[in-house]
C-alpha cells in the first residue's frame, strides 16, 4: 500500500498504518526544499555548539567562584576550630592559674600546631577576663582573635569589604584554684 502524504516526500505504510521507510523527493517536484533542509542541519548544530560553549563558560566561572568560596569557608572553619581549641587550653590553664597572663598566653600559643606559628603571627591576640575575683567558683574567659585571616576568593573580599577578616574564639571556664578567702 503506497500513500502520498505530501507532494515532497513519499513513504510506504505498513498494513497497520505506520511508516516503514522514507524515500527521496518525488520525481518532477523541485528538490530544492530537501536540499535546503540538509544544508541547514550542520549550520544549526554548529550554532548550537557555539551556544553550548558560551553557556559552559558562564557556568564554569560561577561554579569555580562557588568552589573557591567553599574552600575559603572550610579554611575559616578550620581556623576557628584551631583558635577555639587554643582558647580552651588557655581557659583550662587559667582555671588553676587565673592571674598568670603570660602562662595563659604561652599555653594558648603552644596548644595547637594546626595554625602555623599561632603566636608568631602578628595578628593573634589573647585576652583574659575574670568574672569577679581570681578565686575558685568565679569564671575566667579567654578570647583568642586572629585579626588578619586572608580570603583567597577575589570577589568575596569585595562583598565583605576587605580581603582579610577577623576570626575570634571565646571560652569561659570556672576557676578551680586558689580558694576564695575572706567573708
Chain-centroid distance of CA 175 in Å reads: 39
Q: How many residues does the chain have?
A: 183
Q: How many CA atoms lie within 13 A of 3 on its CB side?
A: 12
Tell me the three state secondary structure of residue 27. Answer: coil
116 falls within a domain: yes
Q: Are 11 and 22 in contact (CB under 8 A)?
A: yes
In a domain, 179, yes or no: no
- State how far the alpha carbon of 47 is from the alpha carbons of 22, 42, 53, 54, 159, in Å: 28, 9, 10, 11, 37
What is residue 111's predicted lDDT score, i.e. its pLDDT?
83
> What's residue 181's pLDDT?
80
* Domain contains 87: yes
Residue range(s) defining the domain that contains residue 112? 48-174
Q: What are phi and psi of 72, to 5 degrees?
A: -60, -45
As a dihedral over the C-alpha atoms of residue 43, residue 48, residue 49, residue 52, rounded to 10 degrees, the angle is 170
Report if residue 25 sits inside a domain. Answer: no
Residue 164 lies in a domain: yes
In DSSP terms, 140 is beta-bridged to 130, 173
Alpha-carbon span 165 to 153, nearest angstrom: 12
Q: How many domains does the chain have?
A: 1
Query: Strands 124-131 and 9-13, how do they pair?
Result: unpaired
**What is the model's pTM?**
0.68
- CA–CA dist 21, 75 (Å, integer): 63
Provide the residue-wise pLDDT of the chain in tens; the chain has 183 residues. Answer: 554 444 444 445 555 555 544 445 555 555 555 555 555 555 556 677 788 889 999 999 999 988 988 999 999 999 999 999 999 999 999 999 999 999 999 899 888 766 666 777 677 899 999 998 888 889 999 999 998 888 888 777 888 888 999 999 999 999 998 888 866
In a domain, 33, yes or no: no
pLDDT, residue 28, reads 55
The answer as to whether 153 is a domain residue is yes
In a domain, residue 102? The reply is: yes
Amino acid at each position: 500500500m503506497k500513500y502520498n502524504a505530501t507532494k515532497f516526500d513519499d513513504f510506504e505504510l505498513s498494513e497497520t498504518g505506520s511508516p516503514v521507510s522514507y524515500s527521496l523527493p518525488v520525481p518532477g517536484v523541485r528538490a530544492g526544499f530537501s536540499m535546503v533542509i540538509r544544508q541547514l542541519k550542520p549550520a544549526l548544530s554548529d550554532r548550537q555548539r557555539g551556544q553550548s560553549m558560551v553557556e559552559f563558560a558562564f557556568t564554569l566561572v560561577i561554579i569555580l567562584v562557588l568552589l573557591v568560596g567553599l574552600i575559603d569557608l572550610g579554611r575559616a572553619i578550620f581556623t576557628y576550630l584551631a583558635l577555639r581549641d587554643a582558647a580552651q587550653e588557655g581557659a583550662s590553664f587559667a582555671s588553676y592559674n587565673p592571674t598568670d597572663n603570660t602562662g595563659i598566653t604561652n599555653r594558648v600559643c603552644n596548644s595547637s600546631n594546626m595554625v602555623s606559628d599561632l603566636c608568631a603571627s602578628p595578628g593573634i591576640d589573647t585576652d583574659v577576663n575574670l568574672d569577679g575575683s581570681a578565686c575558685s567558683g568565679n569564671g575566667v574567659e579567654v578570647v583568642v582573635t586572629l585579626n588578619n585571616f586572608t580570603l583567597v576568593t577575589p570577589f568575596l573580599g569585595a562583598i565583605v569589604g576587605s580581603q582579610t577578616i577577623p576570626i575570634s574564639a571565646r571560652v569561659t571556664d570556672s576557676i578551680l584554684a586558689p580558694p576564695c578567702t575572706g567573708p
